[in-house]
Structure 1
Amino acid sequence: MVIEEKAKLEEQLKEVTDKYKRALADAENVRQRSQKLVEEAKLYGIQSFCKDLLEVADILEKATESVPKEEIKDENPHLKSLYEGLVMTEVQIQKVFKKHGLLRLNPVGAKFDPYEHEALFHAPMEGKEPGTIALVSKIGYKLHGRTLRPALVGVVKDA
């Protein structure tokens, strides 16, 4: 009778110990998952804000590209100052982007990657390898390695 009770108690102890170990493991898994979610929120919490700023960066780039280079001279000081201010602003916004993990994707000549690029068209081109990017219509961006906006590209295809 004592032996049976002892065996029964040992079995209960074994069950309780097993449940305790499982509960500890579950708690640790929840803690690790929560920590990962917090870290991702810190990294990618600015994603929406960054996307909105990309449009500003695009407009700055188009503004600097639209100024005729032959007009930027000392005889035209207002245009020259405006152009230099736009360029400095563009450089500064790219520095801020880089500081926060937002990097440009300008993939001319690279292999097409559907995770980073969006093909607008495919065209045959002599001297270019099929599957490579021949033209970038709109620069793409990555936030901490995650594609935020794919680059809009033209891809070389077989003739």
Structure 2
Amino acid sequence: MTDDIRPDAPQTVDAPAAEAAADDRVAALEAEVAGLKDQLLRTLAEMENLRRRTEREVADTRSYAVAGFARDMLQVGDNLSRALQVLPADARDGASPAVIALLEGVEMTERELLKAFEKHGVRKIDPVGEKFDPNFHQAMFEVPNPEVPNGTVVQVVQSGFVIGERVLRPAMVGVGRGGPKAAPAAEATEPKVDRTV
């Protein structure tokens, strides 16, 4: 008789060693599953963050895409405004019907331009009476005025404009000085927006 093992003969296996090997294999597979699950969760979180960031960038692009064009068009609006200021009010009373019609046409054009700005999210800011805010205003000069608190905008030289939450052009203003100290603001407020258009 030989010591060869026949394939159909029952074999004896060390049961504790086989059980330990199976436990090791299960533990390794559980660790691999936990690692893959963590990797999946991180990938899903990254994808969600990417989706949100992309949505925000698309919204910003939509909101601010007209900024360059609007900035250029502000010069047109300024010229229309200057054209209306050339003729004093008392000269308008004695002006010919043709001149009055021309002035009315320029006024209507200026109003339509401001409406078009408003339609595309460009708003005019009117800071008279507000506390000077360097984020929205550019101080051109100081005006001695003891009747208003220090740092109050008392005159607007050139209107400012915002698009969305961004300043398109700061308002050029004269700031009062010599009055009582301004009370500290509890919170920063958004500039007053001229909605007369």
* Segments of 4+ moved more than 6 angstroms: none
- TM-score, normalised relative to structure 2: 0.77
Q: Do the aligned partners of residues 129 and 75 (structure 1) sit closer, same or farther apart at CA in structure 2, a change above 3 Å counting?
A: closer
Write the distance in 2 (CA, Å) between the matches of 1:88 and 1:106. Answer: 20
Is 1:111 paired with 2:112? no
Equivalence for 1:98: 118
Greater fraction of residues in helix: 1
What code does the residue aligned with 1:78 have? A
- TM-score, normalised relative to structure 1: 0.94
- What value does the CA root-mean-square deviation take over the aligned residues? 1.4
Aligned-residue offset at 1:158: 3.1
Decide which of 39, 43, 49 is 2:59's aligned counterpart.
39
Decide which of 73, 76, 79 is 1:56's aligned counterpart.
76
Mapping 1:118-133, distance limit 5 Å: 118-133=138-153
| Unpaired runs of at least 5, structure 1 | none
Tell whether the 8 Å contact from 1:74 to 1:80 is kept in structure 2 after alignment. no
| Unpaired runs of at least 5, structure 2 | 1-20, 180-197
1:5-46 Cα shifts (integer Å, max 9, x gaps):
100110011001100110111011111101110110001000
Structure ID, larger Rg = 2
Percent identical: 35
Q: How many residues align?
A: 159
What code does the residue aligned with 1:107 have? P
